[in-house]
C-alpha cells in the first residue's frame, strides 16, 4: 500500500509538471509571437507597398471606381486609425462612388451616402487582419440597407455586418455567394448610433451602441480592406469610422 | 428570491471550477489505475468523467452567455474567442473520451494494463486541453479584468 501511495504521488507530480510545462510553453510562445509581430510590422510595412501596388493594378473592391491614395495605403497597413468626415481626411479613402459626398449635418461634417435606389460605397486604405471596426452613423428612412464591410479582398470576397429594416445580418461573401452567419431582429436607433463589427479568429460579432446583437463563426479570412456601403432609398450619414487591430492571443 | 449573489457577474464563474476539479481528479485516478486498480477506482473514475463532462457542458453554455453579455471589449476579444475555442475542444474531447471509457471498461470488460496505460495517456491529453481552456479563462479575469466589478 505504501508503495502504491508513493507511485500515486509520482503520478500526481508528473501531471502537475506536465500542466506547468504546457502553461509555460503557451506563455513563452505568445511572448515570442508578440515580439515577432512587432518586428514584423516594419517588414510588412515595407513589403506592403508591393502588395498595395498589386492591388491597385489587378484587384477590385466591391465597387470598381476606386483609386488608392499615394502613400497612405502603405502607412495604414494593419494599424489602428480614426477617420473623421472632413475634406482633409479624404486621403484615407481608397475610393468612393460619386453618390457619396461630404456634407454639413447641423454642426457636424458627415459623409453622406445617397444611393437613390442604386448602390453607394467607400473603402478605406490599409489592409486589416483581426480587427474591430466602429462606424458612427445615422440612417434616414427605413427603405435601405447599410453594410459595414471588412476583410474585403475584392467585390466577390468580403465579410460584413448589415442592417436592413429591423434585422441585423452578420455574414460573408465568398466567390460572390452570400452566406449569413447569424441574423437577429433589432431596434435600429433613429438618431446617431455606433455600428461595430469584430473579427477575432473564427469569431465574428455585430454590435449596436456597444451591445452585442449577432455572433457567428466561420473560418478566418485573409487580411482585407474596411469600408461601408448603402443601397435602397435611405440616406446614410457617417461621422466617424475607427478601426482597432485586435491583440494576437494564439 | 435571486439565486445569484449580487456581487456575482453571472453563473459561469460559480460553476466553472467544478468540472476543472472533477475532471482533474478523474485524470489523476486514471493514471493511478495503471499501478493500483481496484474496482472502486474504475467505477469512481467513470462517475467523475460523467459528472465532470456534464459540468463542462453547463460551463460552456453559461460561458457563451457570459461572453455575449460582456459588451464591446476590443482588447479582450481574441482572448475570449480563444478561451471559447479551447472550452469547446475540452467538452468534445471529454465527451468522446467518457463514452469510449465506458464502452471499453464496462461493456467490453477490457481491463488489461495496455488499455489502462492508453486511457491514462488519452486522459493526460484531455487534461492539457482543459489546462489551456482554464489558462485563457484565468487570463480573462486576471489580465483583462472581465467579470470583475470596477
Domain assignment of residue B122, yes or no? yes
Q: Supply B13's cell numbers.
A: 464563474
| Substitution target from A203, A220, A242, A243 for chain B, most B beta carbons within 10 A | A203
pLDDT of B14 > 80? The answer is: yes
Domain assignment of residue B147, yes or no? no
Q: Mean pLDDT, consecutive 10-residue segments, chain A of 250 residues?
A: 55 58 49 33 31 36 42 55 77 82 80 85 88 91 87 91 92 92 92 93 92 92 90 88 77
In this predicted model, what pLDDT tens digit does every residue of B45-82 receive, in sequence order? 999 999 999 999 999 999 999 888 888 888 888 999 99
Query: Which residue from B58, B52, B39 is spatially nearest to B93, judged by alpha carbons?
Result: B52
pLDDT of B26 > 70? The answer is: yes
Q: Which whole number is the average pLDDT over B88-112? A: 89
Domain assignment of residue B42, yes or no? yes
State residue A74's pLDDT score. Answer: 44
Question: Nearest-CA distance from A91 to chain B in Å?
Answer: 26
- pTM listed for this prediction: 0.75
Q: Which residues contact B109 (CB under 8 A, 6 or more apart)?
A: none
SS3 label, residue A37:
helix
Cβ separation B78–A212 shorter than 8 A: no
Number of H helices, E strands in chain A: 2, 15
For residue A189, the enclosing domain spans 59-245
SS3 label, residue A221:
coil
- Grid-cell match 479575469, residue found: B141
CA distance A146 to A232: 9
Residue of A nearest to B79 (CA): A249
**Global ipTM:** 0.79
pLDDT of B117 > 50? The answer is: yes
Residue of B nearest to A132 (CA): B74
Domain assignment of residue A115, yes or no? yes
Average pLDDT in chain B? 90
State residue B17's pLDDT score. Answer: 95
CA A179 → CA A151, A182, A217, B24, B116, distances in Å? 15, 9, 11, 40, 46
State residue A6's pLDDT score. Answer: 57
SS3 label, residue A136:
strand
pLDDT of B88 > 80? The answer is: yes
B121 vs A80: which has the higher pLDDT: B121
Q: Supply B33's cell numbers.
A: 489505475
Number of domains within chain B: 1
Number of domains within chain A: 1
Q: What is the CATH number of the domain that holds A235?
A: 2.60.120.560
Question: Nearest-CA distance from A19 to chain B in Å?
Answer: 6
Domain assignment of residue A51, yes or no? no
Domain assignment of residue B47, yes or no? yes
Amino acid at each position: 500500500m505504501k508503495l502504491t501511495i508513493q507511485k500515486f504521488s509520482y503520478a500526481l507530480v508528473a501531471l502537475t509538471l506536465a500542466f506547468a510545462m504546457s502553461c509555460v510553453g503557451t506563455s513563452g510562445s505568445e511572448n515570442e509571437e508578440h515580439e515577432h509581430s512587432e518586428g514584423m510590422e516594419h517588414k510588412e510595412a515595407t513589403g506592403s507597398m508591393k502588395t498595395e501596388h498589386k492591388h491597385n493594378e489587378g484587384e477590385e473592391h466591391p465597387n470598381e471606381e476606386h483609386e488608392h491614395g499615394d502613400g497612405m495605403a502603405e502607412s495604414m497597413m494593419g494599424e489602428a486609425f480614426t477617420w473623421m468626415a472632413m475634406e482633409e481626411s479624404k486621403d484615407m479613402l481608397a475610393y468612393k462612388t460619386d453618390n457619396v459626398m461630404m456634407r454639413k449635418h447641423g454642426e457636424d461634417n458627415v459623409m453622406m451616402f445617397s444611393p437613390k435606389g442604386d448602390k453607394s460605397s467607400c473603402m478605406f486604405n490599409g489592409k486589416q487582419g483581426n480587427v474591430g471596426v466602429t462606424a458612427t452613423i445615422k440612417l434616414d428612412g427605413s427603405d435601405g440597407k447599410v453594410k459595414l464591410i471588412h476583410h474585403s479582398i475584392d467585390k466577390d470576397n468580403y465579410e460584413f455586418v448589415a442592417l436592413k429594416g429591423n434585422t441585423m445580418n452578420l455574414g460573408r461573401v465568398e466567390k460572390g455567394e452570400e452566406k449569413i452567419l447569424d441574423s437577429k431582429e433589432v431596434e435600429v436607433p433613429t438618431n446617431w448610433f455606433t455600428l461595430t463589427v469584430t473579427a477575432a479568429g473564427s469569431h465574428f460579432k455585430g454590435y449596436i451602441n456597444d451591445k452585442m446583437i449577432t455572433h457567428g463563426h466561420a473560418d478566418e479570412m485573409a487580411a482585407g480592406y474596411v469600408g461601408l456601403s448603402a443601397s435602397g432609398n435611405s440616406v446614410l450619414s457617417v461621422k466617424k469610422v475607427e478601426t482597432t487591430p485586435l491583440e494576437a492571443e494564439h | 428570491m435571486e439565486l445569484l449573489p449580487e456581487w456575482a457577474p453571472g453563473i459561469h464563474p460559480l460553476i466553472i471550477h467544478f468540472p476543472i476539479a472533477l475532471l482533474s481528479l478523474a485524470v489523476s485516478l486514471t493514471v493511478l489505475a495503471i499501478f493500483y486498480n481496484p474496482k472502486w477506482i474504475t467505477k469512481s473514475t467513470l462517475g467523475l468523467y460523467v459528472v465532470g463532462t456534464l459540468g463542462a457542458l453547463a460551463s460552456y453554455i453559461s460561458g457563451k452567455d457570459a461572453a455575449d453579455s460582456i459588451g464591446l471589449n476590443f482588447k479582450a476579444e481574441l482572448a475570449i474567442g480563444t478561451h471559447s475555442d479551447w472550452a469547446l475542444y475540452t467538452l468534445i474531447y471529454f465527451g468522446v473520451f467518457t463514452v469510449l471509457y465506458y464502452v471499453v471498461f464496462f461493456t467490453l470488460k477490457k481491463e488489461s494494463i495496455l488499455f489502462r496505460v492508453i486511457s491514462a495517456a488519452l486522459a493526460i491529453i484531455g487534461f492539457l486541453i482543459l489546462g489551456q481552456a482554464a489558462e485563457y479563462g484565468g487570463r480573462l479575469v486576471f489580465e483583462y479584468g472581465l467579470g470583475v466589478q470596477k
